[in-house]
Amino acid sequence: MPPAHTAQQKAAISGFQNFTSVDRNTALRFLKSNGWDTQTAVNSYFNNGGGGSAAPSAAKTNLGKMFDKYREDVANSPDTVGAEGLMRYLSDAKVDLEGLETLAVLEIIQAPTMGEVTREGFVDGWSILSCDSIDKQKTYIKNLKQTLPSNKEQYAKVYKHTFQLAKSPTQKGVPLDMAVTYWDLLFTSPLSAVKWTTDNTPWSAWWVEYLNSSWKKAVNKDMWNETLKFAQMTLEDEVMSFWNEEASWPSVIDDFVGWVKEKRGDVPAETMEE
């Protein structure tokens, strides 16, 4: 008799079947071969021709036509959808414009900025996922919302792409107020795979408090990416035993470590001032 599946595995089987409409054995085969990661298994299923998806060329044609519906300046920008068209698309796809799912969708279609989508990004992004209709995209997004909170790999992609969305094309960094807004969403959303808070330390709130009081500079790409790494490590090791002065953290994180230790009373204030 085969071993019983865990509650998490049963949920993965149900989720895979609901999204793909396959039988239980097919669901098990794809889930087992993809480490029980529902999102990865679904992608593998469609990438291997599952679901009766349209041929690649036909899918791209369908996606090109869909893209055309949302263009605003056809004559001057035939391969670009601007802010207004993007809002209409996200609304049609039933995406919460203020939720983390918006950032996840913009990562899929590789939007270069928050208010712009390119034909190449839109067509290639959805074509890879075999989602060549608005209904397929809505179903994919619904499934993504269910799996993202436990999929740190996908979440990391969304997090890193958000830096591109947040900065202007002419700047190398993101203004601090803009970065803080996105950090709040990325680290506190119910869809986040890295909810940056622990029983004894409200990490994300303290990070913002520290930056607003002591940093006040733009956020570069290295600082942005290292913040995610630091957040993940603090969730596993709240006392920050992983940190030492010789490590190559950005100086702002080094200073934040000292600030946190003093605020929590880990070390006396006079010691920090020496």
Bridge pairing between strands 80-81 and 117-118:
antiparallel
**Residues 173 and 268 grouped into a single domain:** yes
| CA dist., res. 153 & res. 173, Å (int) | 24
Domain assignment of residue 265, yes or no: yes
**Residues 214 and 251 grouped into a single domain:** yes
Would you state the pLDDT for residue 105?
97
Q: What is the CATH number of the domain that holds 112?
A: 1.10.238.10
Q: What is the CATH number of the domain that holds 25?
A: 1.10.8
| CA dist., res. 252 & res. 210, Å (int) | 10
**Residues 158 and 256 grouped into a single domain:** yes
CA atoms within 13 A of residue 101's CA, in its CB half-sphere: 20
Domain assignment of residue 60, yes or no: yes
Domain count, the chain: 3
**Residues 179 and 82 grouped into a single domain:** no
Would you state the pLDDT for residue 124?
92
Q: Which residues pair with 219 in a beta bridge?
A: 174
Would you state the pLDDT for residue 274?
46
Query: Residues in the chain with pLDDT < 70?
Result: 1-3, 46-56, 267-274
| CA dist., res. 99 & res. 241, Å (int) | 34
Would you state the pLDDT for residue 268?
55
**Residues 109 and 172 grouped into a single domain:** no
**Residues 103 and 178 grouped into a single domain:** no
Q: What is the CATH number of the domain that holds 179?
A: 1.10.238.200
Residue 215's domain comprises 154-273
Domain assignment of residue 197, yes or no: yes
- Residue 65 structure tokens: 């036509």
Would you state the pLDDT for residue 50?
62
| CA dist., res. 122 & res. 28, Å (int) | 31
**Residues 20 and 72 grouped into a single domain:** no
Cβ atoms within 10 Å, residue 73: 11
Q: From the centroid of its chain, how far is CA 61?
A: 27
The sign of the torsion formed by the CA atoms of 246, 252, 258, 260 equals: negative
Domain assignment of residue 1, yes or no: no
**Residues 265 and 161 grouped into a single domain:** yes
**Residues 118 and 214 grouped into a single domain:** no
Q: How far is CA 94 from CA 51, 69, 139, in A?
A: 22, 16, 10
**Residues 267 and 179 grouped into a single domain:** yes
**Residues 19 and 114 grouped into a single domain:** no
**Cβ contact 138:177 at 8 Å:** no
Domain assignment of residue 2, yes or no: no
**Residues 47 and 60 grouped into a single domain:** no
At 219, give phi and psi (nearest 5°): -105, 120
Domain assignment of residue 203, yes or no: yes
- What is the pTM (predicted TM-score) of this model? 0.80
